[in-house]
Amino acid sequence: MKRMFSVLSMLVFTAGILSAMDAKEIVDRMEKAMDVEDAYLHAYLENTDRFGTLRSEFDTYRNADGDTLLIVTDGPDRGQKILRLSDDIYIYYPDADETIRLSSSGLKESFLGSDFSYEDLTGNDEFDERYDYSLEGTEDYNGISCYRILFNAKSLSETYQKQEVLVDCERFVPLRSRLFSRSGKLLKEIFYDRYVETDGIIYPTYMKVENSVKKDNYSTVTILEFDFDGEIDDGLFSKEELSW
* Residue 84 buriedness (CB in 10 A; 0-12 / 13-18 / 19+): buried
Number of continuous H segments (helices) and E segments (strands) in the chain: 4, 13
Please report the sign of the dihedral spanned by the C-alpha atoms of residue 233, residue 239, residue 242, residue 244.
negative
Q: Which whole number is the average pLDDT over 130-158?
A: 94
Which residue, among 56, 41, 74, has the nearest Cα to 224 in the 3D structure? 41
Instruction: Give the pTM.
Output: 0.86
Whole-angstrom distance, CA of residue 151 vs CA of residue 167: 12
Q: Where are the domains of the chain?
A: 22-241
In this model, does residue 14 exceed pLDDT 50?
no
The pLDDT tens digits of the residues spanning 83-100 come to 999 888 999 999 999 999
User: Topology of domain 22-241, per CATH?
Assistant: outer membrane lipoprotein receptor (LolB), chain A (2.50.20)
Q: pLDDT at position 5, please? A: 36
CB neighbourhood size of 98 (10 A): 11
